[in-house]
Structure formats: C-alpha cells, structure tokens
Amino acid sequence: MIDPTKEEKCALASALQPMGEYVSEIGMHRPLQDYTRHEVLTMIEVIVTAYQDYLINNFPDAPPVRQGGRHA
C-alpha cells in the first residue's frame, strides 16, 4: 500500500487485535518462519477481513477501489 489514506491507516490499526488474537491461538512463542502455509494464509485472511470490515462499516459509501488505480 503506497501512501495510505487516514481511513486506510485506521483500517490497518483495526486489524491489530484480530491478528493478535489469532497469533495467540497458534502460539506467539513461535517464529513466523515456523508457521505452516495454512497458518500464514489464515492470518492474512484474518487481517484482510478486519481491514475490509472496518472500511465497509465506517465508510459504506466509499468506493471499493482508490482513484488512480494504485490499489485493487
């Protein structure tokens, strides 16, 4: 993400708690390199879902894609 907007920064911050909860479930003591492919993909899903949910819930009239085509 290049030059995130204020809204995008808030959405990113909103993903911290769900990500932390997931990492706690699978073991915070483990280095990321020891996570399985499935664990990493699930973590990405948790983060992206929280990010999108924040934007949808807080900015329902905003377009899903930024102008300029930099983000999809």
Q: Is residue 72 part of a domain?
A: no
Distance from C-alpha of 40 to C-alpha of 36, rounded to nearest angstrom: 6
Q: One digit per residue, pLDDT tens: the chain, 72 residues?
A: 899 999 999 999 999 999 999 999 999 899 999 999 999 999 999 999 999 999 999 998 876 655 444 444
pLDDT at 64: 63
- Decide if 64 is inside a domain: no
Query: Quick one: pLDDT at residue 62?
Result: 78
1 lies in some domain: no
> Does residue 30 form part of some domain?
yes
Segments forming the whole domain that contains residue 53:
6-58
Residue 50 pLDDT? 95
> Could you tell me if residue 37 is inside a domain?
yes
- The CA-based angle 48-15-56, given to 5 degrees, is 65
Number of domains the chain is built from:
1
Asked if the structure places residue 67 within a domain, the reply is: no
Residue 24 counted as domain residue: yes
Q: Indicate whether 22 belongs to any domain.
A: yes
